[in-house]
Amino acid sequence: MVTGQKVWTSLAHQSDWCFVVCRTEPGSVRHKGLSYLLVPMDQPGVDIRPITQLTRTSEFNEVFFDGARTAADNVVGELGDGWRVALATLAFERGVGLLGHQLSFRRELDHLLAVARDTGRATDPVFRQRLARSYAELEILRYNTLRSLSGIDGPVAPPEASISKLYWASWHRRFGELALDVLGPAGLVAEGFPYELGEFQRTFLFSRSETIYGGSNEIQKNIIGERVLGLPPEPKGATR
């Protein structure tokens, strides 16, 4: 039986299954003794509570497990080895899983370029520079993601995946800010009553979460600093 809770579970309210990393070895500590389970959502003991976001949508949810069950065959990998599987999942989310996202990023950028031409922003030297930079950064992101396809070493998540996560989350957040600047004052007004948002308004608001989920920007920087650059680890219990 699985008992516990998880906040920020993406699309849980639309899902038939979820994966759960839970402790299956009593007395184990930290990442030891964890197993990676596939758990059906439509069963007694699973309570899903959607979280209303700034966009007034609910992609994220809080999920409570109270004696939920799953078959023994639904263990992914070996019992007690769930942390390795979880790292591979995170590597996919942070790195190569972005390949599909880049199609939507490119469509967003193409749409913004069209809006900039229509509004005259494209002839403004400052906006031309910002739009060109956004385009160049997206191309860099695409090439680096393709190059990272050869960097996934089996089930072990390489720390280099954090470079991709930090880059694309920060890029999309900057893009959301650029999009509202291109819209000008119109970007500050909802398209419909009482709170019907346009595409770029939703992007601006939702992109704030992208620097948090899948490991926040601060976590990615720590991983890059310690595991890629070999810098001393951050002092435990340090205050900022």
Q: Is 93 assigned a catalytic role? A: yes
Burial 136-146 (b: 16+ CB within 10 A, else e): ebbeebbebbe
Listing DSSP states for 165-225 in one string gives HHHHHHHHHHHHHHHHHHHGGGGGS-SBTTTB--HHHHHHHHHHHHTTTTS-HHHHHHHII
Q: Which two tokens stand for residue 107?
A: 């469509």
Sequence-distant (6+) residues with CB within 8 A of 46 are: 39, 63, 64, 65, 66, 68
Does a cis peptide bond (omega within 30 degrees of 0) precede residue 194? yes
Q: Map residue 130 onto helix, strand or coil.
A: helix
What letter would DSSP give residue 226? I
Alpha helices (runs of H) in the chain, residue ranges in sequence order: 82-94, 98-119, 125-147, 161-183, 199-210, 217-223
Q: Which of 59, 78, 93, 234 is catalytic?
A: 93
Sequence-distant (6+) residues with CB within 8 A of 202 are: 55, 57
As annotated, the active-site residues are 93
